[in-house]
Structure 1
Amino acid sequence: MLLISKGLRNITTLCLVRHGETDWNRQRRLQGQEDIPLNELGRKQAHESGKHLKHEYWDGIVSSPLSRAYETAEIIQKHLDQTLTIQTLDEFKERAFGEASGLTFQELHEKYPDRNYSGQEEWEEFKTRVFSGLEKIQNDFKGKKILLVAHGAVINCMLSVLSNGEVGSGKTKLINACISNLEHIDDMWNIKSYNETSHLSQFQSH
């Protein structure tokens, strides 16, 4: 985890929300840029995220254009006291996994034990795309507090790069509708928290 210096001004805050569950998530299928909608649990998770986030003031909402992310953003938006327009950015679409998309994790393990999926978006290309989106957010919303609804691989890419591989891609299993927080200070993004799930009823003790 990277430490945040206190007392610095003009901080851009970015709250990352992974989209709610889809049927492919439930079936443990690799989900790339296919436009799979939220299922009933996914919508419930989005509502729970919105109820959790409504207590804070936000300057904007950004979303991947894929429906599972955009619908999550729409549901969260309905819970906020402010009237905010959702801005979509293609840079935050899920990674394209080529011929591996739609396969179950068991099928992936059997067919691609090295995880070298045929036709997938290369890591460097994917990373460049995602961080280009982050740069757009910093340029457009400098010093603001923004919600970003995106995908597991997208958020894990950010976490991996910013933590120098300590967390994120290959190490962190992000839960549907989990929350992670970044701050932009001194010309760099820093991780404040990641994979928070306490707002989701499925992780609350009764």
Structure 2
Amino acid sequence: MTDICLIRHGETDWNVLGKIQGKTDIPLNENGIQQANMCRDYLEAFDWDVMVTSPLIRAKRTAEIINESLQLKIIEMQEFMEKSFGDAEGKTREEREKLYPNLEYPNQESRSDLIDRIMTGLEKIISDFPNQKVLLVAHGAVIHTLLHTLLEDRSELNNTYLKNACISNIFYQENKWNVKNYNIIDHLSI
């Protein structure tokens, strides 16, 4: 069985401002650093074999902070970069609704391309790290899309906002992905 603990990156200033980030490379803010520290403190109580991260700085820095006590090999995988939101990146919800009332953002990555990219990444993890415990630091849209793709009953996930530094757990067993839990924030005290 391959276990994957999905961690959404810590908070950024754009998260606070409600700006959509996508592939724009925005660093963690002070609160995001604190959130990553709390993830580290929680996750160090468990055994892990490897850490995978998106190469975007907010995810990569979250992974580095978590890894301070774990000392795992960190592998960057493009497959887990945030979805490209095209021309909507850097805009607040109000700006996006005004400019794109139908929420169709010019030049954004399609849902099917995003799903293909994520599932390719998961296949690589199964192939490269069979029967291992993997920490995967990624992004809100990536984790939400991944969970939505794997869950058989999607109704409870549809309106769920994945909080910064939340933890979700999936596992691959008998040629099938399973979702154990998602959007866990008990480890966050702020």
Short-chain TM bin: over 0.9
Instruction: Check if 1:47 corresponds to 2:28.
Output: no
CA distance in 2, matches of 1:144, 1:35: 30
- 1:108 and 2:93 equivalent? no
Q: Please say if 1:151 is aligned against 2:148.
A: no
Aligned length: 189
Tell me if the contact between 1:159 and 1:167 (Cα under 8 Å) persists in the aligned partners. no
Partner of 2:17: 27
User: Runs of 5+ in structure 1 lacking a partner?
Assistant: 1-10
What is the rounded CA distance, in whole Å, between the counterparts of 1:110 and 1:134 in structure 2? 36
Structure 2 unmatched ranges of 5 or more: none
- The answer on whether the counterparts of 1:22 and 1:68 sit within 8 Å (CA) in structure 2 is yes
Instruction: Give the aligned CA root-mean-square deviation in angstroms.
Output: 1.0
* Distance in 2 of aligned mates of 1:134 and 1:44: 28
Aligned residues of 1:160 and 1:167 also touching (Cα < 8 A) = no
Question: Aligned with 2:116: secondary structure?
Answer: helix
Matches of 1:30 and 1:23, distance apart in 2: 11
Equivalent in 145, 167, 170 of residue 182 of structure 1: 170
Please say if residues 99 and 118 of structure 1, whose CA atoms lie closer than 8 Å, have aligned partners that are also in contact.
yes
**Post-superposition offset of 1:110:** 2.0
Amino acid in structure 2 at the alignment position of 1:38: L
Distance in 1, Cα, partners of 2:80 & 2:117? 8
Shift of 1:120: 0.2
- 1:90-127 superposed Cα distances (whole Å, 9 cap, x missing partner): 00000000100110011112222322111100110111
Instruction: Give the Cα separation in 1 of the matches to 2:174 and 2:155.
Output: 21
Deviations, residues 147-169 of structure 1 (Å, cap 9, x unaligned): 0000000000111111143354x
The residue correspondences of 1:57-136 to structure 2 (distance < 5 A) are 57-80=47-70, 83-136=71-124
Shift of 1:85: 1.5
The residue number in structure 1 matching 2:150 is 162
Find the aligned partners of 2:156 and 2:141 in 1 and give their Cα distance: 12
Residue 117 of structure 1 aligns with an amino acid whose one-letter code is: Y
- Deviation at 1:29? 0.4
Correspondence for 1:7: none
- State the TM-score, normalized to the length of structure 1: 0.89
